[in-house]
Amino acid sequence: MTAALPHHIEAASPHVMNTYGRLPIALSHGQGCRVWDVNGKCYLDALGGIAVNTLGHNHPQLVPALQDQISKLIHCSNYYHVPLQETLAAKLVELSGLENVFFCSTGLEANEAALKLARKYGHDKGIERPEVVVYEKAFHGRSIATLSATGNAKVQAGFGPLVEGFIRVPLNDIEAIKKATAGNPNVTAVFFEAIQGEGGVHPMDDQYMRDIRKLCDERDWLLMIDEVQCGMGRTGKWFAHQWSGIKPDVMPLAKGLGSGVPIGAVVCGPKAAQIFKVGNHGTTFGGNPLAMRAGVETIRIMEDDNIIANAITTGEHLRAALERDLSGLAGVVNIRGRGLMLGIELALPCGELLKQAADEGLLISVTADCVIRLVPPLIMTTAEADQVVAILVPLIQQFLHDKTPGKSVPVASPINE
């Protein structure tokens, strides 16, 4: 008698609001850099929950620590002191060289708080209508204020009127920002991602960041660097701006800080640390003991296991392999990024590669329509990186062959740091 095959479970969410273009996959559990769906299929995770699962899945030290915290206290509100807030804040201050921290629950909230800081900073200086410099292709969130700061017309469509008070400039062009702000007394801050994530994995040049730091100092503006996606060791330093040797005045964090537990933070230097007073800002869930324990344990494990060095080693290995196999291939425009935050830009929209990769057992992202984004857990090994390349490169080659037969398309340029 032949045993019956297990029933296939369809991935569907008919009672959940339809706000995501989901793949027909429902994940069940994970281990390290691999996850399994409800039907038992295994996937290599090169997405990491969109740069969130720093320590991968089911980490043998993180999970028991969170179980311990759940048995003690999950939430208590900010009416009271939360000792783990001070523990995590002190560590973030140590790692960043800044001064103090506000805790929230998401990157959007952290960026919203940064924008409020910029406005309050202006009002405290007597500026009635403060303005903030933001960037083309930026993505800071989907609230009305962060959406207005975002440089993506597609995600803004249908939600006007947007919030006023933003001056938009191109990336890595110091003369453009000087021209856009010339003679404007209302500017209070410059706000950018050290490496744009949703915008297509576009890094800010190290020299440009140094030039902006100098400009902000000269004009008494706040330098606010969004490290929500590129921070927490992803590029091979704790925070991506540290490659340039500067310090921001305001630094929003989230994503990888809690290895999957929702957490956001705004880390401030001396110029911004005392802007908010009692009653100026707040949150219900932010800074709860469970999230704080997740942040404390994530950093402890990263330090104990030298995870940041691994991000450099594995990131360089992965990048070199992609360069080896894709450079010179017609239709590959550019390979760029740092550490384990890499983007492969193609000459045409490639969203269909998400499902094709998943069918082959690889989880990736496509952002800005034509950029394959790789942001795996920071524990990924070089052997696993080789597996990513072994699956992904043939898919890219076949995709470009099918989409551009006989056509003249751009050829890849060297990696842009």
CA distances to 136, 154, 196, 240, 322 from 417, rounded to whole Å, are: 18, 27, 12, 11, 15
Amino acid identity of residue 300, one-letter, is R
164-218 pLDDT, tens digit per residue, is 999 999 999 999 999 999 999 999 999 999 999 999 999 999 999 999 999 999 9
The structural domain count of the chain equals 2
177 and 169 in contact (C-beta within 8 Å)?
yes
Inside any domain, residue 129: yes
Does some domain include residue 280?
yes
Up-side HSE of residue 121: CA atoms within 13 Å toward CB? Answer: 26
| 280-338 confidence digits (pLDDT tens) | 999 999 999 999 999 999 999 999 999 999 999 999 999 999 999 999 999 999 999 99
Q: What is the pLDDT of residue 290?
A: 98
Q: 107 with 245, same domain?
A: yes
**The domain boundary residue, chosen from 304, 327, 357:** 304
| Judgement on whether residues 263 and 318 belong to the same structural domain of the protein | no
Does a structural domain hold residue 15? Answer: no
- pLDDT reported for residue 407: 57
Residue 80 sits in the same domain as residue 52: no
Q: Are residues 316 and 182 in the same domain?
A: no
Q: Going by C-beta distance under 8 Å and a sequence separation of 6 or more, which residues neighbour residue 8? A: 39
The residue written with tokens 């009002």 in the block is: 123
Percentage of the chain with pLDDT > 90?
94
Domain boundary among 275, 304, 333: 304
Region 63-86 average pLDDT: 98
Per residue in 291-312, is it b (16+ CB within 10 Å) or e — as a string?
Answer: bbbbbbbbbebbeeeebbebbb
52 shares its domain with 199: no
Q: Are residues 288 and 239 in the same domain?
A: yes
Q: Domain boundary residue among 282, 304, 326?
A: 304
Q: Taking the model in full, what pTM does it have? A: 0.95
Whether 158 and 272 map to the same domain: the answer is yes
**Are 209 and 227 spatial neighbours (Cβ–Cβ below 8 Å)?**
no
Do 290 and 315 share a structural domain?
Answer: no
Closest residue by Cα to residue 107 from 166, 170, 52, 67: 52
Does pLDDT of 412 surpass 90?
Answer: no
CA quadruple 123, 125, 129, 130: dihedral, nearest 10: -90
**210, 267: one domain:** yes
- Three-state SS sequence of the chain: CCCCCCCCCCCCCCCCCCCCCCCCCCEEEEEECEEEECCCCEEEECCHHHHCCCCCECCCCHHHHHHHHHCCCCCCCCCCCCHHHHHHHHHHHHHHCCCEEEEECCHHHHHHHHHHHHHHHHHHCCCCCCEEEEECCCCCCCCHHHHHHCCCHHHHCCCCCCCCCEEEECCCCHHHHHHHHCCCCCEEEEEEECEECCCCCEECCHHHHHHHHHHHHHHCCEEEEECCCCCCCCCCCCCHHHHHCCCCCEEEECHHHHCCCCCEEEEECCCCCCCCCCCCCCCCCCCCHHHHHHHHHHHHHHHHCCHHHHHHHHHHHHHHHHHHHHCCCECEEEEEEECCEEEEEECCCCCCHHHHHHHCCEECEEECCCEEEECCCCCCCHHHHHHHHHHHHHHHHHHHHHHCCCCCCCECEEEEC
Of 103, 93, 72, 49, nearest to 299 by C-alpha is 93
Regarding whether 393 and 283 lie in a shared domain, the answer is no
Give a yes or no: residue 66 inside a domain.
no
The torsion angles phi and psi of 128, rounded to 5 degrees, stand at -75, -35
Range of the domain at 86: 73-304
Position 404 confidence tier, pLDDT thresholds 50, 70, 90: confident
Write down the pLDDT at residue 9.
92
The CATH number given to whatever domain includes residue 203 is 3.40.640.10
Residue 6 lies in a domain: no
CATH code of residue 363: 3.90.1150.10
Does 271 lie in the same domain as 382? no
Tell me: the pLDDT tens digits for 100-140?
999 999 999 999 999 999 999 999 999 999 999 999 999 99
pLDDT at 417: 35
Q: What rounded mean pLDDT belongs to the chain?
A: 95
pLDDT score at 1: 41
Residue 22 lies in a domain: no
CA–centroid distance for 118 within its chain: 21
What is the average pLDDT across 13-35? 97
Does 152 reside within a domain?
yes
The pLDDT assigned to 7 comes to: 78
97, part of any domain = yes
| pLDDT in the model for residue 44 | 98
pLDDT value of position 259: 98
In this prediction, residues 52-59 reach a mean pLDDT of 98
Same-domain pairing of 289 and 251: yes
- Does the structure show a pLDDT above 80 at 264? yes
At 2 the pLDDT is 44
